[in-house]
Structures are given as C-alpha cells and as structure tokens.
Amino acid sequence: MKLSISGVGKNFGAVRALDRVDLDIAPGEFVTLIGPSGCGKSTLFNMLAGLLEPDAGGSILLDGKAGALLGRTAFMPQRDLLLPWRNVLDNALLPCEIEGLPRASSRARAEKMAVDFGLRGFEKHYPQQLSGGMRQRVALMRTFMFERDLMLLDEPFGALDALTRSMMQRWLLDIWERYRRTILFITHDIDEAIFLADRVVVMSTRPGRIKLDRPIELPRPRDAHLLTAPEFTAIKRELLDAVEEESLKSFSA
C-alpha cells in the first residue's frame, strides 16, 4: 500500500506539534522514523492510525484515496498490551474477533502463522509465562493478523535488552521479507533505524518537519556484521549529526 502525506500539520492549543510534513512511502517499503524527543513522531502515527485528525490543509492518502483512516492500518504501540487472561493464540486472534471473521478459518491461519513467528509449542501459554521477546512476537503476530498492507510500529523493541533486541531485529526482517507489508517504524536507536530500513527519515525538533530522508543502500539480507562495516558507520555519523543538531535546538529553545 502506498502512503502519501502532504502538508500535514497538527496544533494542540498553542503548541504546534507538526508543521508541513511531506512523506511518500512505496508499497512494500520499510521506512524508519527517528528524531529528538517531542518532535511529533507519535502524533504523526496517531494520525496515520486514524486516532487523530490532521489540521485543515494537509492530506493523508492510502493508495491515492482519502477518507477515514481508522481501521485501514495496523498499529502496534510501544507496549505489547497482551490480555493476561488469554493465551498466545487467543491474543493473536483478537483482530479477527473484532472484525467478525469466521473463528475456525481464523484459528487455522493463526496456527500456521505461529510457526513463522517462532511460537510453535507456545500457543497455549499465557503472557506471564513468556519472555519479553516472545511477548513482542505475539504482539507483532496479532498486528499481522489484521491483514493491513500498511503497518505502524512504534518502538516495538524499545523495552528489550540489547541481545534480545538484536535478535528481534533480524527476525522482523525475515518476517517482512516473507509477508512484504509496508512498514513505518519509530525508533530512538540509530543503529536499529539503519539496520532495518530502506530509508531513514529524520524529523526536526518541534514543530516536527522532515529534516532528512536518507536512502539506505546496504545489501540485503542483513546480519550483525553489517553494524561494524565502514559504510554503515558513515551513514550513522550522518544521521547522528542530523539528530544531534535538532536535539541541541530543543535544549536551547
């Protein structure tokens, strides 16, 4: 699904959170979004998910079509939000229940998807029986079960330890290659942003604008050795400079 954002802004009272945001994402593309705290990344996500309306004058189009966005994208917030009284499979089936889909066929699809998500043998486990990484897999599986072409992932690995986070990044890329959804991914980790993405988009300090749209022309598939490659380090330096410049503006404002 193609996403086109044009001239989007958002005010909260006297605070200008976003200003004239323009961004196009092609079908099947993996784009990461970084920027200083308070730059409006989550506000933008909430608009794309249909939870907030953009101010007049801007537009958000999915495959060239305007209209209500609620329910047209799959949105995973920072916390996994798994229901503790439901097991893995029943948590993953929640989207199908919300949409009134036949339970038998939905359950069969979830059981098959559990294999791809590394959850085979854990279908009847409850969230409190799972590690942090496995809980995130369940939450991502639930997001994929919505079967939306555009997925919004808001720092899904932010609470994980470094080793688990690295493993989850590689696992997510494998899942993305198999299902080929369009992904917009918020992160504060520049290594993660580069490692995952086709493009890294840097936002300015408030009011948030697109400061830099950097293509990542690194070969796929990607592994941990890429993180120490000279070309990776050069991209990281460029992005760090852009983010640090905006962060300094926010401290001096």
- Cα(213)–Cα(228) distance, integer angstroms: 22
The residue segments making up the domain with residue 120 are 80-147
Q: Are residues 173 and 245 in the same domain?
A: yes
Q: Are residues 100 and 165 in the same domain?
A: no
Average pLDDT over residues 55-78: 84
- Number of structural domains in the chain: 2
How many other C-beta atoms are found inside a 10 Å radius of the C-beta of residue 92?
Answer: 30
- Cα(159)–Cα(157) distance, integer angstroms: 6
CATH number at residue 201: 3.40.50.300
Q: Are residues 103 and 173 in the same domain?
A: no
> How far are the Cα atoms of 73, 114, 140, 197 from residue 157, in angstroms, in the given order?
20, 19, 11, 15
Q: What's the predicted TM-score (pTM) here?
A: 0.90
Residue 67 has pLDDT above 80, yes or no: no
The per-residue pLDDT for range 9-34, each reduced to its tens digit, is 999 989 999 999 999 999 999 999 99
Query: pLDDT band at residue 116, thresholds of 50, 70 and 90?
Result: confident
- The structure tokens 């992160």 sit at 187
Q: Are residues 57 and 88 in the same domain?
A: no
Q: Are residues 199 and 91 in the same domain?
A: no
- Cα(196)–Cα(235) distance, integer angstroms: 13
The per-residue pLDDT for range 120-172, each reduced to its tens digit, is 999 999 999 999 889 988 999 999 888 888 999 999 888 788 888 888 899 99
What three-state secondary structure class fits 3? strand
Q: Are residues 56 and 175 in the same domain?
A: yes
- Cα(150)–Cα(237) distance, integer angstroms: 30
Q: Are residues 93 and 123 in the same domain?
A: yes
